[in-house]
Chain A
Amino acid sequence: MGDYMRFAFMCREKKQGINAKIAVVGAGPAGLAAAGFLVCSGYDVDIYDKLPLPGGLMTFAIPSWRIPPNRVLEGVKELEEKFNVKTIYRTKVYAGEPVHEEGDDFTEKKISIDDLIAQYDLILLATGTWISKIPKMPGVNAKGVTTALEYLYKWKIYEYNLASIKPPYAKKAVVIGGGYSAIDAAEKALKTGAEVHLVYRRTIKEAPAGIYEIERVKREGVSFIELASPLEIIEENGVAVGVKFQKMTLGPPDETGRPKPVPVPGGEFTLEADLVVFATGESPTPPVNPSKAESLGLKLNKDGSIWVNNIMQTSISKIFAAGDVVTGPSRIGPAIRSGLKAARFMHNWFLAKKGKTTTQIGVFA
């Protein structure tokens, strides 16, 4: 029973024999799980990440009482020490004009994806979803308006002593959303002294975080308001002072199969707030600007995710992709599944290309 995540759970030591180098871009759950499989299959693996520590959202967003950071950090240490994985932090792999993402603050070095293509036999892109979506409405650029990912990330880097600036103290926080990041942001604001309203446009029954989690933070003191959707951020001299909401009711199912929230005529109300946190989803962040992607030949989907074929290979044959940058925001489990699958496809594709027979390492019926 180890005290850390064993990313290379299918082997005791690095396999010898394959003389090939792989770059994994993104040290989150998908990238780390893939690295674990690849060292067990005998590859030399280098992992790149823009942040100073590995783990992605496991380390930089999810509260440490849910995932103890050391469990991730020690797990990566094992990859380094026992499996010769090289970790290259504070290094952003990117091509084209950069787009601002959360977690960019620590980037000291930029590497173009072309350089990786030249240096490595295979590349895995597992760069996640580091841009938060904020619905269009007046006032979202006011001071005091942020996103759950940015808010949780700022607290994390302060707690790890990676930043000296303490996130701003809030007296009255409004968190908008119904998923896990909304729960975690609301709880963080509450524990740091704020009065917190958590506002969701459907009811507790539809909330992706589930009834249990919402009841748990309610018991801790978060006020949960269901069936309300933000209309505008009220600002004074560029600073948020409140949020105006529209009362909603549940209508017929929408394209996701959940009942669609529809406005209740005349039902408007305002909540005071000096901190407004949008927990309304994140978007895929491939390591390439959309316009550059085209000239590079890396196909992206409409939503910005990386296009892959049925063996998780991108439109550039030596580049594969896995995790949230392919699927959109998911959870740790699906990201790990995706990373493992992509790694096995990479291995089989590489052997087939070399004219060797494929071996199904790690498969026991």
Chain B
Amino acid sequence: MSPDPAIKYLRVIDLGKCIGCGACEAACEFIHEKPYIVVYRTSIGLDIPVSCMHCAKAPCIEACPTGAMTRDNSGAVYIEQSKCIGCLACLYACPFGIPELDRATKTATKCNLCMELRKEGLEPACSAICPAQAILFGEDAQVFQLAKKRTAESMARARFEFEFHSSK
């Protein structure tokens, strides 16, 4: 088996920035006719978006008996529908419960990071429409840098507030 193509692009959801508004889910559903990112209202009232993590060592790819679950050359994990037998071994393997069975096609479905939009040089709909900039999508190094820069910003803010406003 040939090794997975290198991961070039990543999507990371910053739960600290997410406001739970559901814009990602709406745009995703509009593009795919069914949302592959879903915002769940949890028992403590915090809304959490859930979608495929596009794991670097994806258990779903390992578990797939037909090679239908695979990775494109930007790093997105996707399903080649013609090879899929709908066994859902991918769902059993997935630690996040992501893949679903499409009743009509009898194949597994999940997020492919808007492959069609990316082919045209566009970003996935979810990150494009997010009002809170909670969905980071880009080249891996860029995403890693931005994630840490946000941490730096929040640490600086906390220190600033401690130094200048703690006596209130």
- Residue ranges of A at the interface with B (Cβ–Cβ < 8 Å): 1-3, 5-7, 9-12, 29, 33, 58, 62, 66-68, 71-72, 207, 209-214, 331-334, 336-337, 340-341, 344, 362-365
B138 at the binding interface (Cβ < 8 Å): yes
In the bound complex, residues from chain A placing their C-beta under 8 Å from that of B61 are: none
Considering the complex, which residues of chain B in the window 131-148 have a beta carbon less than 8 Å from any beta carbon of chain A? 131-133, 136-138, 142-143, 146
Instruction: Report which B residues bind A (CB closer than 8 A).
Output: 19, 21-27, 29-33, 39, 41, 44-47, 114-117, 120-123, 125, 127-133, 136-138, 142-143, 146
Complex Cα–Cα for A88 and B106 (A) = 49
Q: Can you name the residue of chain B whose Cβ is closest to the Cβ of A70?
A: B133
In the complex, chain A residues whose CB is within 8 Å of the CB of B125:
9-10
Q: Which of A11, A331, A341 has the most CB of B within 10 A?
A: A331
Q: Which of B46, B121, B127, B132 has the most CB of A within 10 A?
A: B132
Q: Given A9-B129, A67-B131, 18 other A-B contacts at CB below 8 A?
A: A1-B127, A1-B142, A1-B146, A5-B130, A6-B123, A7-B129, A9-B117, A11-B122, A12-B122, A58-B131, A212-B46, A331-B21, A331-B22, A332-B131, A334-B22, A362-B30, A364-B32, A364-B116
Whether the Cβ atoms of A67 and B19 lie closer than 8 Å is yes
B46 contacts A1, CB within 8 Å?
no
Distance between A347 CB and nearest chain B CB, rounded to angstroms: 13
In the complex, how many residue pairs between chain A and chain B have their CB atoms under 8 Å apart? 111
CA of A214 to CA of B44 in the docked complex: distance in angstroms?
10
A6 touching B128 in the complex, CB below 8 Å, given contacts A12-B120, A337-B29, A340-B30: yes
A-B contact pairs, 27 of them (CB 8 A): A1-B137, A2-B123, A2-B128, A5-B130, A9-B122, A12-B122, A33-B26, A66-B19, A66-B132, A67-B19, A67-B131, A68-B133, A71-B132, A72-B131, A209-B45, A210-B41, A212-B45, A212-B46, A332-B19, A332-B22, A334-B26, A337-B22, A337-B29, A337-B30, A341-B30, A364-B31, A364-B116
CB-defined contacts of A365 to chain B, threshold 8 Å: 32-33
Bound together, the chains give a CA A338 to CA B146 distance in angstroms of 32
How far is B26's CA from A340's CA once the two chains are assembled, in angstroms?
9
Q: Is the CB of A333 within 8 A of B31?
A: no
> Using Cβ atoms and an 8 Å threshold, which residues of chain A touch B142?
1
Residues of chain A contacted by B130 (CB below 8 angstroms): 5
What is the CA–CA distance of A213 and B27 in the complex, to the nearest angstrom?
25
B27 CB to nearest A CB, Å: 6
A1 adjacent to B138 (CB under 8 Å):
yes
B51 CB, nearest partner CB in chain A, Å: 14
Question: By CB atoms of chain B within 10 A, which of A207, A209, A214, A340 has the most?
Answer: A340
Q: Are B26 and A337 closer than 8 Å at their CB atoms?
A: yes
Give, as a whole number of angstroms, the nearest-CB distance from A124 to chain B.
Answer: 16
Please give, as numbers and ranges, the residues of chain B lying within 8 Å of A58 by CB-CB distance.
131
Give CA–CA (A344, B117) in the complex, Å.
18
Chain A residues lying within 8 Å of B136, measured Cβ to Cβ, are 1
B129 to chain A, nearest CB (A): 6
Q: How far is the CB of A163 from chain B (nearest CB, A)?
A: 24
Q: Cα distance A29–B130 when bound, in Å?
A: 11
In the complex, chain A residues whose CB is within 8 Å of the CB of B115: 364
- Interface centre among B19, B24, B120, B127, by most chain A C-beta atoms within 10 angstroms, is B19
Picked from A29, A62, A210, A333, the residue with its CB within 8 Å of the CB of B45 is A210
